[in-house]
Structure 1
């Protein structure tokens, strides 16, 4: 089949893009559009041309499969395709349905007329890849919808429904009922019959009184809101050119800014994150692996996590049975769920009908018998093997054959949990991140016995729930928490060496993390780490797991929930306030342990914390716990507040250069009393550095 289907409808040539899944504008499609356009122009029977992607989508933009390849730069490029359309002597009408994003919208803007379904989604999301529209989008869109609206659309990258642009120069007709193509053909035939002037947005004079003042205001706001990202500010400059420069000059300005952004580490990081998310969903299971149906979910535990998971399922339209041991706990869980939905309702993000519908999907119960019809059970109880054993033995007894038994454990041995049942092939880990109804990340933990269809079903369910899922093997802490333990160890070491919590947090937050390690500890609860260290100490007698945080916990300082941890917190507020009492505890700890304080700068703080993550990530990769380095980055970008503009810890290490990371690790490892398990370069990392390689 031709990549651009050519068909005649009366005197109208219909050119249909056929490059699944989203009609990405790869080289073959670009060449096909020009060839089909030339065919239509050479045919005297053709009076008008309709460019469409069909009734379900128009074009999703660039073909990501060609990113970085020679084909992406081969002519005709998108600029040349648009120039050919604009130069057409016959009217060219874009028929827009479904998604019309990025280069797809730029292609449509190059047509003489545009007809769209009311619910079509129009947008220029390039800023989310650290770029700006590079085929005239920043010059044509302001001429179509005005400077302010165009700037908001380009800087935010958020798509808008076509109905919003009815009456603007962006759309000539909006189809609210019926099929798109007949309406577009009728419009094209009318344009030809009535000899309508062929409109080119490039010829429109932008009317923007007060543009200078508005643009300066926009520059200030965009800069303040995007501290680490250059693309939004450059989007403002490109759009500004549409108001101050002739079209062709503005096009050259846009192109120069686009090329400059392509070479920034921030754009490389954002593009890496984009591809990493897609790669994470690829499983090493046999092709054609069947999926199990998940029509009803049982959730054991109605605490913060269980309530959040119940909401996630209800939001996706999946009925939930929520189980608790005691009525009071069940009532609290349902009250939490209702309160969360009420808050969303008040913000206008949920209709009253949706509010009632979602609550109706959640059935509270005190009996395991209510789970007999569930296709999947998710255990979300206290992080204790003893507690989980009781739950899984009960589930094994009551759940129907073929049902999936999932644990939300964040660190415990999933294989040991699976062995508690008579169906280890049906057991999998679904580690949601708190709050589960907000956080995008889901670690899918594959046990040694987990069946391929269970793994594939879990991945499909993650997509339905709107989660970004990463598969992990079984180890203490899986991917995210195993690495964060090393990160925490590095941060704790900085305290031993002379830093204070606020100094470390300030350096890490300046690097771009949403929260430093000590603020994060206070938010999560210091008692969690304390419990883990006590468990590890019991399992490995003779090994020292003691930490200065233990002394804070012994004093009842568990973090925000107790009003004091590494910081103190005033009632009703979450602002971390440095506490002299913490400084006193730290100084006493150093004295008792024989640590001598020294001055540490922000650069070393960042190196120690981030390289500790990288080093453990390399071990995880070499052990096969993670399938690919980019999976580790997805975990940290979506679950731990790692800065998007850095691309994740493994991508950041690539940007820094692995030899530089290894040299720093060896320097830390050579210090007196250094922990080799933390600082000795992982074999994979050392090997890649020596070979001039990279993780990604």
Structure 2
């Protein structure tokens, strides 16, 4: 037995054997090396089968799928090598499924992608209570390629299998048992004994393991009329959801074509659809996004980097930040200046923590100290403000706190639009004031924009970045200025939206276009409602004064009218939409005039060009260091569709010259935000933001 191998073959009692996954790294992956070892063992098992075979992991998780780091080189390589890789895995899983003995997978922790497909090739599955099992391939722009599209619907039914594959969300153990994906749930210490007992029952004839196999090899046992109804409903749900790229549609069609085929033909159909996706731009963007996020999450945080965090502001943002910090084990000292709001903090915090266990609630209270005076922050090395977005209020706070804090203490502003330099005016040490802008809503966006004074030492910059990571966020450094990076690009897009509405285009038509076709999680009207129309109007005014008049909303746009009517957005119950019991309802007054409406393609160009041109300006002005960081910031901080890569990647894929040609053919006025000279210069130079990508 090779203890350094990712898979080991063990001989157990009573003539049973086990394939034990124990890769040298932190987790088990179906890498090429793992598949090669597995291939050798399965040849041996086929030639000399045991009485029964167990598959289990020595790690906390079973198998987290294929090694995604191998994907991009494989997809860029020769076609025959890619086909060979898929056929190797498919052949191995079929060999496992065809062994002349009962097979059983013991599952625990995460069982994802290829790990799930391997488990599906076994006759039985037992799960530990902590098991999360799923097929997330569509989130990477792919579909299950190792037999998952074939085996899963035959095991748990078509409707449930479609939900697994199209949603890509892992299922917990109780749901797995209810859907028939596993045969039982056992505590981890009893998982192996329970597995041996189940194999014994199979060998004794009490369980008919052989009867399970034809079901997975034959066409789906479901009348064609019921198949068609289920598929039609799935297509309808997909059409109404925000666009996710081509993968969900390809996965749905792969299932539809393979349901009535025997195993070999069905697996070939699955492979054909997989190959159509793997070289697409969208797939590359999603895989790169995943790898980028994985790199951020795997970066170790240093313990006790921030022994105590001072926090000023007990509003919604302040409490959200306190909750983030407390959840990560940080000590928080929270000060709220307004007496009534300060008195209400214990009750508001208790309400937020109702869903936590008693032990977790007690831990939160032990880590938190509610302060009565700003002087009580005197010992903090980091103080983070979350007060109103008002320049004079923030300046006043910093002038109060600076003399109270230690010499090396850092002052951190969460401002979204004011800039850092204006706040630091008059401080003895302006370099000690930095920006830590959490993109909102914080529950949906994981980006933090970091803004530093040039004189701030590198060690303190790293301390601020480490705080962002400890709070579970991804930091990206940007230059100081109104709106920083994300809001500057986002409001270029929102200003264009307001101009189109002023031209008579329905905001609801634009919301549908930008979600269901382009892929934003929210349309621009819903986004404005969520951020609050007064807040959006204030940011536009700040950007207009601080950068250029192009950010000023058009006079005929509805923003001022809605505000005057008391429709300030979702929090007031009405904005572009009316909100009934939390649900957005279109207002008939905004219905589209069906005559002479521009095409969806024209509207999309009109909305996106200002954002794309502003991105080019931000790179020229060095607001952000690179196209890759700009794209990541917009994905994580604004919800730009990950399958489109980001503004720079989208321009590379679509082509700026093509986009400009389409813009010039529109029957709509060019948005005031546009920079046609800049775009034409870039188009003539034919730049690529990612020149290494062919």
Q: 1:388 aligns with which of 379, 386, 394?
A: 394
Cα distance change on mapping 1:510 and 1:128 into 2, 3 Å: closer
Counterpart for residue 60 of structure 1: 64
CA deviation profile, 1:474-495 (whole Å, cap 9, x unmatched): 3331221111232244345546
Counterpart for residue 246 of structure 1: 262
C-alpha deviation, 1:277, in angstroms? 3.5
Q: Which runs of 5+ in 2 are unaligned?
A: none
Counterpart for residue 258 of structure 1: 274
Q: 1:524 aligns with which of 503, 508, 531?
A: 531
Kindly report which structure 2 residues correspond to 1:98-137, keeping only aligned pairs within 5 A, or say none. 98-137=109-148
- Aligned equivalents of 1:692 and 1:459: distance in 2? 26
Aligned-partner SS, 2:387: coil
- Aligned equivalents of 1:112 and 1:466: distance in 2? 40
- Aligned equivalents of 1:570 and 1:94: distance in 2? 48
Assess if the C-alpha contact under 8 Å between 1:311 and 1:437 holds in 2: no
- Aligned equivalents of 2:506 and 2:257: distance in 1? 48
Q: 2:438 aligns with which of 432, 443, 453?
A: 432
C-alpha deviation, 1:294, in angstroms? 3.0
Residue 548 (structure 1) aligned with residue 555 (structure 2): yes
Counterpart for residue 108 of structure 2: 97
Q: 1:658 aligns with which of 644, 656, 674?
A: 656
Aligned-partner SS, 1:178: helix
Counterpart for residue 139 of structure 1: 150
- Aligned equivalents of 1:335 and 1:543: distance in 2? 44
Aligned-partner SS, 1:23: coil
Cα distance change on mapping 1:48 and 1:155 into 2, 3 Å: same
Counterpart for residue 586 of structure 1: none
C-alpha deviation, 1:429, in angstroms? 2.5
C-alpha deviation, 1:126, in angstroms? 1.6
Assess if the C-alpha contact under 8 Å between 1:138 and 1:254 holds in 2: yes
- Aligned equivalents of 1:167 and 1:530: distance in 2? 50
CA deviation profile, 1:176-232 (whole Å, cap 9, x unmatched): 042756776787799889999875964336898765565445334433332234544
Aligned-partner SS, 2:8: strand
Counterpart for residue 165 of structure 2: 154
Cα distance change on mapping 1:5 and 1:493 into 2, 3 Å: closer
Assess if the C-alpha contact under 8 Å between 1:238 and 1:254 holds in 2: yes
- Aligned equivalents of 1:694 and 1:317: distance in 2? 42
Counterpart for residue 306 of structure 2: 294
Residue 312 (structure 1) aligned with residue 328 (structure 2): no
TM-score normalised to structure 2 length: 0.78
Cα distance change on mapping 1:421 and 1:102 into 2, 3 Å: farther
Counterpart for residue 593 of structure 1: none
Aligned-partner SS, 2:111: strand
Q: Which moved more, 1:675-684 or 1:646-655?
A: 675-684
Counterpart for residue 8 of structure 2: 6
Aligned-partner SS, 2:435: strand
Q: Which moved more, 1:332-341 or 1:245-254?
A: 332-341
Cα distance change on mapping 1:232 and 1:569 into 2, 3 Å: closer
Assess if the C-alpha contact under 8 Å between 2:386 and 2:413 holds in 1: yes
Q: 2:29 aligns with which of 24, 39, 54?
A: 24
Assess if the C-alpha contact under 8 Å between 2:482 and 2:488 holds in 1: yes
Assess if the C-alpha contact under 8 Å between 1:55 and 1:181 holds in 2: no
C-alpha deviation, 1:63, in angstroms? 1.1
Assess if the C-alpha contact under 8 Å between 1:145 and 1:165 holds in 2: no
C-alpha deviation, 1:397, in angstroms? 3.5
- Aligned equivalents of 2:125 and 2:226: distance in 1? 29
TM-score normalised to structure 1 length: 0.78
Assess if the C-alpha contact under 8 Å between 1:6 and 1:16 holds in 2: yes
CA deviation profile, 1:318-349 (whole Å, cap 9, x unmatched): 4433311121233466665555556xx5xxxx
CA deviation profile, 1:508-535 (whole Å, cap 9, x unmatched): 4564445544554454344445445655
Counterpart for residue 614 of structure 2: 616
CA deviation profile, 1:97-137 (whole Å, cap 9, x unmatched): 32110111111222455454331221111232343322111
Aligned-partner SS, 1:67: helix
- Aligned equivalents of 2:646 and 2:549: distance in 1? 35
- Aligned equivalents of 1:402 and 1:102: distance in 2? 48
Q: Which moved more, 1:217-226 or 1:455-464?
A: 455-464
Q: Which runs of 5+ in 1 are unaligned?
A: 584-597
C-alpha deviation, 1:27, in angstroms? 1.7
Q: Which moved more, 1:533-542 or 1:148-157?
A: 533-542
Cα distance change on mapping 1:282 and 1:181 into 2, 3 Å: closer
- Aligned equivalents of 1:289 and 1:332: distance in 2? 34
Counterpart for residue 412 of structure 2: 406
Assess if the C-alpha contact under 8 Å between 2:449 and 2:475 holds in 1: yes
- Aligned equivalents of 2:183 and 2:500: distance in 1? 63
- Aligned equivalents of 2:138 and 2:515: distance in 1? 23
Assess if the C-alpha contact under 8 Å between 1:312 and 1:437 holds in 2: no
Assess if the C-alpha contact under 8 Å between 1:511 and 1:606 holds in 2: no
Cα distance change on mapping 1:557 and 1:440 into 2, 3 Å: farther
Q: Which moved more, 1:179-188 or 1:444-453?
A: 179-188
Kindly report which structure 2 residues correspond to 1:312-461, keeping only aligned pairs within 5 A, or say none. 312-331=324-343, 337-338=349-350, 345=355, 362-372=368-378, 374=380, 376-400=382-406, 404-415=410-421, 417=423, 427-456=433-462, 458-459=464-465, 461=467
Aligned-partner SS, 2:679: coil
Kindly report which structure 2 residues correspond to 1:665-676, keeping only aligned pairs within 5 A, or say none. none
Aligned-partner SS, 2:72: coil
- Aligned equivalents of 2:185 and 2:559: distance in 1? 63
Aligned length: 668
Counterpart for residue 84 of structure 1: 95
Aligned-partner SS, 2:133: strand
C-alpha deviation, 1:65, in angstroms? 0.6
Cα distance change on mapping 1:640 and 1:546 into 2, 3 Å: closer
- Aligned equivalents of 1:689 and 1:491: distance in 2? 27
- Aligned equivalents of 1:102 and 1:599: distance in 2? 44
C-alpha deviation, 1:305, in angstroms? 1.8
- Aligned equivalents of 2:182 and 2:316: distance in 1? 47
C-alpha deviation, 1:651, in angstroms? 3.2
CA deviation profile, 1:61-110 (whole Å, cap 9, x unmatched): 12111113237825463212213333545665544332110111111222
